[in-house]
Amino acid sequence: MEFDLTPIGEAIRLSLRGRLDTAAVEAMQSRVLESIVPAGRNTIVDLSGVSFLASQGVRLLITATHGLRQRNASLVLFGAQPLVAESLNLVIRQIIPMTDTQAHALELLAP
């Protein structure tokens, strides 16, 4: 699993690539959370490069969402491949907004 951060105006884009399985989450969770939560900036997460999402990956996204909300910031997911989107729809759509495009994700961040 790889990730990178890109500033997009007042927000941050977190791009994830690879399998977000248990081993990957354990290896990178603290780095991801330390990269986005303390700054308290609205964050969009590009899931277009994620081919698999395990429950630990879902937990990572929920943890990041809660951490950002405590800092009055939001997290929006976008670009999930069909199987990943299906998993997310079943589990966290009520907690984290999800859309298909980066442009719409940025719109969802607006107050």
Q: What does the angle CA 15 – CA 90 – CA 13 come to, to the nearest 5 degrees?
A: 15
Q: How many domains does the chain have?
A: 1
pLDDT truncated to tens, each residue of the chain (111 aa)? 899 999 999 999 999 999 999 999 999 999 999 999 999 999 999 999 999 999 899 999 999 999 999 999 999 999 999 999 988 887 787 788 889 999 999 999 977
Q: What is the CATH number of the domain that holds 69?
A: 3.30.750.24
pTM: 0.87
Which residues does residue 4 pair with via DSSP β-bridges, in sequence order? 15
Paired with 77 in beta bridges are 45, 98
Backbone angles phi, psi at 27, to 5 degrees: -75, -30
How far apart, in Å, are the Cα atoms of 14 and each of 28, 35, 36, 78, 80? 13, 9, 8, 10, 13
Amino acid (one-letter) located at 15: S
Structure-token pair, residue 71 = 């800092």
Domain containing 49 equals 2-109
Tell me the two tokens of residue 72. Answer: 């009055």
